[in-house]
Amino acid sequence: MKTNWILFLAVMLCNAGILTAQYNDEVAGKNRIYVTEMEEVALKDAAGDVIYDAAGEKMMEVREVNKLAQSDVHGNADGNEFDLATDGAFEGNTIAVLNLCSVYLGSPKTSLAEKGFSMFEWKGAAPEPPVLREELKKSCQLWVISNGHAMLTAEHVDVIEEYFNSGKGLYIWGDNDPLYVDANAITMRLFNTTMGGNTYADQVVGISGESEGRTGIVDGHLISTGVVNMYEGITIATVKATQELSPLIYNSQNDLVAAVYEKDGKRCIIDGGFTRLYHKWDSAGTNRYVKNAAAWLVNYERFGDEVVFNQPELHKDTARMPDLQVEILELDRNINNNQNYMIKEEE
């Protein structure tokens, strides 16, 4: 029996969906979701004319057809199976929230629970930096919702920087002037950028690039999964673009309202519209967007099984690998930790 050590093949198998993880693989990264259905259709000849049998009846056949998934009233695919993450995928993970503006988070908490997340928040004030550092060890990501005056010290920002540099996800929320003071203290330290302004928005935007200008959510990002139309927030701030950041959402006036950082195994979202968390929550796309953002910030691609408590069992697709007997132990963990795994080929 020959033994082959082929790391790249396992990565290819995972990407092909042979080995599943926490994402809804068939829809991840697709704004518009298509589903395959069986449909009876009339046979046609080369000229496109319907073919009839000897009795004068249409000749029919059953074919697979791709159709847009059924949508909700806002035009987004309807159902949790079209979210980025599977339900319960992150059971046991906690999102820590520095809710400095004391906004209501009841709706996000309920939605995030569908994916297994719990939420712990400090409301209206931050704990002392040593306490924050210790408590953050229990979390998978940190959200900071800024206020209109400084509530974080340089030592708090030190702790947040350490946390971000460890690979844990960071969501920095601001809003209209002046509700970005502490957000800017963090973004300036980490990314040399800020947010600002007081833009009246209150519109639903589509996919960026599909209408005049840049307005909308970008096409193809994991956070955009299943989101065709999205509420932008009511009065919002805009983010100063840099080469280090990638755009995520442009508002109805073509300004950048949300951007992401995803380099060196680290992930952050900077967002100038925290009103989305409580204002018109049931409007277009917010529910799914927030769940997708949290799933992405878990940074599963870096941490592997450490953040997945309800992972489905790996399985083999023998039809696509007819000559291989795959024996893989903790494949996802090994790939994400850059360890070897073994594929045995029978003689």
Is residue 15 predicted with pLDDT exceeding 80?
A: no
Which value, to the nearest 10 degrees, does the dihedral of the CA atoms of residues 255, 143, 125, 175 take? 10
What mean pLDDT value characterizes the chain?
Answer: 86
Domains of the chain in start order, with CATH, are 2-19+314-345 (no CATH), 34-68 (no CATH), 80-304 (3.40.50.880)
- Indicate the helix (H) or strand (E) that contains 127: none
Cα–Cα distance between 10 and 21 in angstroms, integer? 13
> Is 205 in contact with 229 (CB distance < 8 Å)?
yes
In the predicted structure, residue 339 carries a pLDDT above the cut 50 = no
What is the side-by-side strand order in the sheet with 256-263?
A: 118-123, 94-99, 141-145, 169-173, 266-271, 256-263, 246-250, 216-217
Judged against a pLDDT cut of 70, whether residue 89 lies above it is answered with yes
- When pLDDT is cut at 50, 70 and 90, the band that residue 7 belongs to is very low
Comparison of pLDDT for 322 and 100, the residue scoring more: 100
pLDDT at 347 over 50: no
Segment (H or E) for 3: strand 2-4
More confident residue, 239 or 338: 239
The lowest-confidence range among 126-130, 208-212, 333-337 is: 333-337
- Residue 143 carries which DSSP code? E
Q: Tens digits of per-residue pLDDT, 282-293?
A: 999 999 999 999
Question: Distances in Å between the alpha carbon of 254 and those of 177, 205, 225, 251, 257?
Answer: 18, 10, 21, 5, 9
- What would the pLDDT profile of 142-192 be if each residue is shown by its tens digit? 999 999 999 999 999 999 999 999 999 999 999 999 999 999 999 999 999
Buried b / exposed e over 287-309, threshold 16 CB at 10 Å, is bbbbbbbbbbbbbbbbbbbebbe
Rounded Cα–Cα distance for residues 102 and 123 (Å): 5
d(CA 251, CA 256): 6
Q: What is the pLDDT of residues 113-125, one digit of tens each?
A: 999 999 999 999 9
Distances, alpha carbon 249 to alpha carbons 28, 271, 322, in Å: 18, 9, 44
Residue with token string 């009065």: 235
Bridge partners of 239, per DSSP, are: 195
Check residues 20 and 253 and name the one with the higher pLDDT.
253
For the segment 200-245, what is each residue's pLDDT rounded down to a tens digit? 999 999 999 998 889 999 999 999 999 999 999 999 999 999 999 9
CA angle 92, 97, 102 (to 5 degrees): 135
> What does the pLDDT read at residue 21?
56
Q: Report pLDDT digits (tens) over 25-59.
A: 899 999 999 998 888 888 999 999 999 989 999 98
Nearest CA to 139 among 120, 165, 164?
120
Q: How far is CA 240 from the centre of its chain?
A: 22
Give the pTM: 0.80
* 38 alpha carbon, distance to own chain's centre: 30
> Cα–Cα distance between 283 and 289 in angstroms, integer?
11
Predicted confidence (pLDDT) at residue 323 exceeds the cutoff of 90: no
User: How many angstroms separate the Cα of 193 from the Cα of each of 156, 248, 338?
Assistant: 18, 16, 33
Q: pLDDT-derived band of residue 304, with 50, 70 and 90 as boundaries?
A: confident
Q: What is the DSSP letter of 115?
A: T
Amino acid letter, 205: V
Return the higher-pLDDT residue of 135 and 321.
Answer: 135
